[in-house]
Structure 1
């Protein structure tokens, strides 16, 4: 069963849903998104009855927004409890605390931040919404004197996002403060199968410009990244599976590698792969793995076969966000053709309504070994060269 919702459903996901006739809950949003395509629509009433009588069967959603539907219509089910455990970053930290006994974390409400005594905290630390998405209101605090200005910034950001995302996607009131984890950051898509066995679908290196960077500009996948981190990730997923019973359950997980092979989770996103149909679609464009089909058909990637002719390639997901000083109202349009020409092998260009969602779009690329320069340049670019002004 699939729940389709805004802000974005890719053409690839829609094609997959129609081709496989995966049951889709016939919400108002899903019907608008499918635009009359020959999908296997199930009424909300029948979907609710099916969920309740088939708990543990595979369910997928492409959007955080659908969590609100689940919480409203499937209250009291094990599915709701599992979603809440992962979506609430504080509860998740409590869940795995035994495996990470020395890790510092604390919760606080938005109203408490201004008067919070942080003198005893370990610096640097990270503050972010207990329920969050898309790096909204996420900040690294390096020293006590930075705190007042960061609190003001957070208050402004939360006020701005109230109209964009429901409280089930971004918490407007509750925050988690946790120690800063040093090391390289990664993200991966996976699912727990029918018997609770973990399956990895892709692993991506989240590249930053500096330790203070919290943006989502570049994620890159390769044979080296997947092979090196495969077993540590499996071991980590087994820990999660020992704490909470997961079957037919998809996840998108972010973590830092504090030392070789040591995984320190940042957050676990339930019921989906990467937001905006990004990481799952990249897996298709790069490796020919349809993550949606693999989940519903309980398939495992044959990585040896996948990398037979892709050993020296790197596949990247690039977020095209405005990091310049150019106001949105001064931009006529973004030149997607120009940016695609600056890459060796652009695989897919995804355009997004900048005025509505705050980003221009996404770019999926294939880069050969030895051609790191194009990824370095886009990582540090403010994208001003691709903005056509009014």
Structure 2
């Protein structure tokens, strides 16, 4: 069963639903986003009844915007409590407290940030909304002197982003402060099958431009990334499954792995893979894995076979977030053709209206070994080379 909601559904997901005849719930949001009538549409009542008849019903969503629907319509199932423990980062840290007893974290209401005893905080630390999305409102603080500026940035950001997503997805009422986890960051799509076994469908290296960078600009996957990190990531997702007794449940998890191969989860996003149909769709372009189909048909990837022909290739998801410093209202256009010309082998471009969301789109690419410079350039770019301003605005 599929639940579709805003802000975005990909053509690839729609085609997957169509070709597999997967039941899709006919909510208003789904109908707003999908005009295709030749799908296996089921009513909300039918969906609810299906769960009453089979509480272990498989369900996947493209968006956390559906959380309120699940909480209201499926409150008789265990789904709301399972979602809540992952979506609230403070509850998630409490869940794993015995696994990471020395890990520092602290919950704090937004209105109390002004009176935070900054001299008693361990540096460096990360501060972010306890219920968040897309690195919105996330900041790294290296020393006490940075706090006044960081606090001002948070307050300004919250004013701009608080209405982008529903409160179940982004809630800025409470923040979490936690120690800065050293090491490389990875994003993982996986699911727990009917036996509770964790099945990993993709691993992507989240690349940053600097120690201060907390953006989502580039995620890359490759044969080397999968082979190197699969064993340790498999152990962690097994642990999370054991702690939560998950079955028939998809998740998108972000982790950090240090040089000693210590792995610590950053957050877990429930009932979906990467947001905006990103990491799940690029699995298809990179490895021929249809993550939606693998979950709903309870399939496992044969990584040994899949990776045989992938040596020397890196597949990347590029988030074209508006980090230009230019307000969307002052932007006339974005030169997507020039963007595509700057890459060796663009696989897919998705354009997004920057006046509705603070991003220009997403780019999927294939990069050959030795040509990583194209990724480094876009990683550090403020994208102004692609932006044309409105004539009455000077920047």
TM-score, normalization: structure 1? Answer: 0.97
Partner of residue 193, structure 1: 193
- Over the aligned positions, Cα root-mean-square deviation in angstroms equals 1.2
User: In the TM superposition, what is the alpha-carbon distance from 1:181 to its structure 2 partner?
Assistant: 0.5
Partner SS state of residue 130, structure 1: strand
Query: What is the distance in 1 between the residues matched to 2:138 and 2:313?
Result: 32
User: In the TM superposition, what is the alpha-carbon distance from 1:47 to its structure 2 partner?
Assistant: 1.1
1:352 aligns with 2:352: yes
Q: 1:302-333: per-residue Cα shift (whole Å, max 9, x none)?
A: 11222222111000000112222333223211
Partner of residue 87, structure 2: 87
Query: What is the distance in 1 between the residues matched to 2:310 and 2:142?
Result: 40
Query: What is the distance in 2 between the residues matched to 1:97 and 1:368?
Result: 42
Q: 1:228-270: per-residue Cα shift (whole Å, max 9, x none)?
A: 1111011101111221111111010101112343211110000
Q: 1:170-218: per-residue Cα shift (whole Å, max 9, x none)?
A: 1120111100001111111000111001111010110101110001111
User: In the TM superposition, what is the alpha-carbon distance from 1:286 to its structure 2 partner?
Assistant: 1.3
Partner of residue 154, structure 2: 154
Partner of residue 255, structure 1: 255
User: In the TM superposition, what is the alpha-carbon distance from 1:53 to its structure 2 partner?
Assistant: 3.0
Partner of residue 131, structure 1: 131
Partner of residue 32, structure 2: 32
User: In the TM superposition, what is the alpha-carbon distance from 1:36 to its structure 2 partner?
Assistant: 3.4
Partner SS state of residue 175, structure 2: strand
TM-score, normalization: structure 2? Answer: 0.96
Say if 1:381 and 1:331 are closer, same or farther in 2 by CA, change over 3 A. Answer: same
Partner of residue 212, structure 1: 212
Query: What is the distance in 2 between the residues matched to 1:10 and 1:70?
Result: 22
Moved more, 158-167 or 100-109: 158-167
Instruction: Answer whether contact 2:189 2:202 (CA < 8 A) is retained.
Output: yes
1:43 aligns with 2:57: no
Aligned length: 390
User: In the TM superposition, what is the alpha-carbon distance from 1:76 to its structure 2 partner?
Assistant: 4.5
Structure 2 unaligned segments of length 5 or more: list them: 391-395
Q: 1:9-28: per-residue Cα shift (whole Å, max 9, x none)?
A: 00100111111111111100
Instruction: Answer whether contact 2:50 2:57 (CA < 8 A) is retained.
Output: no
Moved more, 321-330 or 123-132: 321-330
Partner SS state of residue 35, structure 1: coil
Instruction: Answer whether contact 1:189 1:273 (CA < 8 A) is retained.
Output: yes
Query: What is the distance in 1 between the residues matched to 2:271 and 2:227?
Result: 25
Partner of residue 377, structure 1: 377
Query: What is the distance in 2 between the residues matched to 1:11 and 1:36?
Result: 11
Query: What is the distance in 1 between the residues matched to 2:275 and 2:260?
Result: 27
Partner of residue 237, structure 2: 237
Query: What is the distance in 2 between the residues matched to 1:183 and 1:30?
Result: 39
Query: What is the distance in 2 between the residues matched to 1:367 and 1:385?
Result: 21
Instruction: Answer whether contact 1:55 1:79 (CA < 8 A) is retained.
Output: no
